[in-house]
Structure 1
């Protein structure tokens, strides 16, 4: 089974094309603002709210191409629905890794 990439660069390029290069930076800034708050809340969220936080993060992560994080959030949603413990630390680590990779590579990956 192939490993999910941290970033789906095809999705990132599609998003940039959809919103236009001018608005792409703003979309990215809003993404980091909103997901940063949600990621911080995830660590302290009561069990009943984790699933809702994961659902939001999954959609946001998919939108910006954070593929591994989206996959982990989706799995976490299913675990939360079954009343199982969610590996929040893995989701947080994936977010940190994706954010660092995105910041380091986005310019080169989307250079036109």
Structure 2
């Protein structure tokens, strides 16, 4: 669900303080992005939103969430906004449950 190698790599690249800022910004932008997305929005607009969400997720190692967003964006599968929100919530929970030991490794 989380690509811990990517998480450690990003933290190493930007440092611990900036890493915390990136996490905060990521959470804010993704949660706003999901809230702004609706099942009734246009196909093009929805794809753009999914592309943004997937890119943000890949940057912070949210692999499962990114994969879902990419698959829906590309039309390889369908997902309602609530399924996307649930996948993000699970990824977020796993991230915070394991970040301490992941960055200590």
Q: Deviations over 1:33-86 (max 9, x none)?
A: 111100111235612311010000010000000001111111111119xxx854
Number of residue pairs the alignment of both structures matches: 104
1:104 CA displacement: 1.2
Separation (CA, whole Å) in 2 of partners of 1:38 and 1:27 = 16
Match of 1:60 among 51, 56, 60: 56
Match of 1:98 among 70, 91, 94: 91
Contact (CA 8 Å) 1:62, 1:70: kept in 2 or not? Answer: yes
Alignment of 1:28-43 (within 5 A): 28-43=23-38
Q: TM-score, normalised by structure 2?
A: 0.88
1:95 CA displacement: 0.3
1:88 CA displacement: 2.9
Contact (CA 8 Å) 1:79, 1:86: kept in 2 or not? Answer: no
Match of 1:75 among 55, 71, 75: 71
Contact (CA 8 Å) 1:13, 1:110: kept in 2 or not? Answer: yes
* 2:46 equivalent in structure 1: 50
Q: Which runs of 5+ in 1 are unaligned?
A: 1-5
Q: TM-score, normalised by structure 1?
A: 0.83
Instruction: Note the aligned Cα RMSD (angstroms).
Output: 1.9
Q: Which runs of 5+ in 2 are unaligned?
A: none
* 1:24 equivalent in structure 2: 19
Query: Structure 1: which 4+ aligned runs deviate by more than 2 Å?
Result: 84-90
